[in-house]
Structure 1
Amino acid sequence: MARLLAIDYGKKRTGIAVTDPMQIIASGLTTVATRDLTAFLQEYLGKEEVQAIILGEPKQMDYTDSELGPWLRTYALQLQELFPNVKIEREDERFTSKMAHASMLTNGLKKKQRHNKALVDEIAATIILQSYMERKR
């Protein structure tokens, strides 16, 4: 079986999470500068077998697109061209950053660690991936 990979896209940083090859456990992988995202994905997918890339889909409370929505639709098409054998899917990402902060607080991370935006993005990507996995079960 191949991994699933989730992306919590941001203007500056992008959080990335992956599953194990059996698609049982979702774990944070890293955070990359958004400008380096495509190069990172090309390198990662060159080494690891990935079944699907799940893009966090930013929506407003009324389900309309956020400002990044149209750009992410275009990026999803670019990813499909780059990786034709990988399924590109989208998953609602509303509240994932708040959930990531709550998770950090619950798990006893110190204030300084909770202000680490890269860690928040990585945890948010993990939440997106877990949500996707639960929805698909």
Structure 2
Amino acid sequence: MAEYGRIIGLDIGTKWIGVARTDLLKTVANPIDTYHTEEVMEALHELISKEEVEKIVVGWPLTPEGNEGRAIKMVEEFLVELEAKFPDMEVAKIDERYTTKEAVRAMVEADVPKMKRRESDRVNQAAAAIILQKYIEQNKSDDVRITDRYV
């Protein structure tokens, strides 16, 4: 992996997909936006073509027990489309358990008004940033590396 570049994080939902990206040093994740599922590939294409994106990290929906959840099929279908559209892009999956709750808690701690916390686009963006930050933190050490390519 290059010294400078970006990693994109995705929180995939049934209608909306939250998007986050790292800084060029790949140390901090920041929310970018939320896109409708029908618009996200175009948005990713634009982002990837303008920025030095090295990898995409996708939240992998596991149950609290660590099993694959009901949303796995939806994420698998998205990954097939993602890899067809960006065949040379490395894609990683990471456990996304509790990221939505963490996103809401972070917004509460940041004094985001209750009405704005209810807006799913804010929650999706924040969850994408949390997914991406978890990936960054896990890959700082040799403890856990989740970089398997989805086929």
Indicate the TM-score class for this superposition, using the shorter chain for normalisation.
over 0.9
How do 1:19-38 residues align onto structure 2 when only pairs under 5 Å count?
Answer: 19-38=22-41
Match of 1:76 in 2: 79
Q: Percent identity?
A: 30
Helix, strand or coil: the match of 2:38? helix
Helix, strand or coil: the match of 2:137? helix
Q: Which runs of 5+ in 1 are unaligned?
A: none
TM-score normalized with structure 1 length: 0.93
CA positional deviation for 1:2: 1.4
How many pairs does the alignment contain? 137
Alignment equivalent of 1:101, drawn from 96, 104, 110:
104
Q: What letter matches 2:58 in structure 1?
A: L
Q: Which runs of 5+ in 2 are unaligned?
A: 141-151
In 2: Cα distance, 1:10 partner to 1:85 partner: 24
TM-score normalized with structure 2 length: 0.85
- CA offsets, 1:12-53, max 9 Å, x none? 111000001111221001000112111211121121121110
Q: Which has the higher helix share?
A: 1
Alignment equivalent of 1:45, drawn from 45, 48, 68:
48
Q: What letter matches 2:118 in structure 1?
A: H
Structure 1 vs Structure 2 CA RMSD: 1.3
In 1: Cα distance, 2:95 partner to 2:112 partner: 26
